[in-house]
Every structure is written in C-alpha cells, then in structure tokens.
C-alpha cells in the first residue's frame, strides 16, 4: 500500500481551527452551567448535568484532564475507590478490581479518559487552557 502525504496550506489549517474555535465560543457563551475544573468532580458533574439536558461548559486551566489525580499515590498509576463511588464508575464502564470488601483499585488513565469521554458524549463542552478569575451568577 502506497501512502501519499497531502500538502495542506497552513493558512487554511489555521482558518479551520480559528473558525471552529470561535464557533464553540459563540455557541457556549451562554450556558446553563459553567464548571471550573476538569478533575473527577467537575467531569462527573458535567456528565450528569449535560445528561439532564443542561447546556454545560467546563473550563480547565491545564491542557489535560484530571486535576492532580492522574499520577495517583506516589505517582503510581492506580487509584483507590471506596463504596458507594464504585456505582458512579460503573456507569462510565470503568473497570474496577475489588481488593477487599467495598475497596477497589482502578487505572488512573482509564478513570480520567472515561470520565472525560462520558461528559463529552453526554453533551458537555470542555475547554482547556482557561483560568477563571470571576463568576457571574444569575437567578433565572
């Protein structure tokens, strides 16, 4: 099989990126819910709120999901989960290994990837690289 590399104009690529990014901002400038932080709590909240039909936007200051949980204890890639949190993880199809009664071990990469994918699939929009300094609350 021959592989051909297509030449793509850098200006066109930049325009595609800018157009699609601005479209996201335009569509989510008014949201029902804005969540600050794409860690486990923020992503779980985004999943349930978006699943309930609310227009949900998540801002994460880092360029990755997970907050500080990605490394686990001592930078190991496993996390300990206790009941009843296992029920939430099962909803995301995260594999759990029971190591003792009501205590489970999960892979941190799978944990964060599936939480993020679940929130996105439910309709939440996640934007990385944004620091939130102030919040406006409206009672509607």
CATH of the domain at 22: 3.50.50.60
Q: For residue 57, is pLDDT > 90? A: yes
Is residue 66, in this structure, part of any structural domain at all?
Answer: yes
CA distances from 112 to 90, 99, 127 (A): 13, 20, 15
CA distance 83 to 117: 23
Could you tell me if residue 59 is inside a domain?
yes
Does position 128 have pLDDT exceeding 90, yes or no?
yes
Asked whether residue 38 is domain-assigned, the answer is: yes
Q: Has residue 41 been placed in a domain?
A: yes
- What's the domain count of the chain? 1
In a domain, 93, yes or no: yes
Average pLDDT, the chain: 92
Residue 133 lies inside a defined structural domain of this protein: no
Q: Which tops the pLDDT comparison, 8 or 89?
A: 89
Question: With 80 as the cut, is the pLDDT of residue 23 above it?
Answer: yes
**pLDDT above 80 (res 73):** no
Which domain covers residue 93, as residue numbers?
14-128
Q: Is residue 88 part of a domain?
A: yes
pLDDT at 136: 80
pLDDT at 87: 94
pLDDT of 71 reads 64
39 has a pLDDT exceeding 80: yes
Sheet holding 56-60, edge to edge: 33-36, 56-60, 125-128
């Amino acid at each position: 099989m021959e592989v051909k590399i297509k030449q793509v104009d850098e200006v066109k690529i930049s325009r595609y990126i800018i157009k699609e990014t601005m479209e996201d901002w335009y569509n989510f400038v008014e949201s029902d819910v804005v969540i600050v932080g794409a860690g486990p709590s923020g992503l779980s909240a985004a999943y349930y709120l978006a699943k309930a039909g609310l227009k949900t936007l998540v801002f994460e200051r880092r360029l990755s999901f997970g907050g500080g949980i990605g490394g686990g204890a001592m930078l190991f890639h496993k996390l300990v989960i206790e009941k009843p949190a296992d029920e939430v993880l099962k909803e995301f199809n995260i594999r759990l290994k029971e190591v003792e009664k009501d205590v489970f071990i999960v892979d941190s990469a799978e944990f964060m990837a599936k939480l993020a994918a679940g929130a996105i699939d439910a309709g939440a929009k996640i934007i990385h690289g944004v620091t939130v300094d102030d919040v406006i609350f409206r009672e509607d």
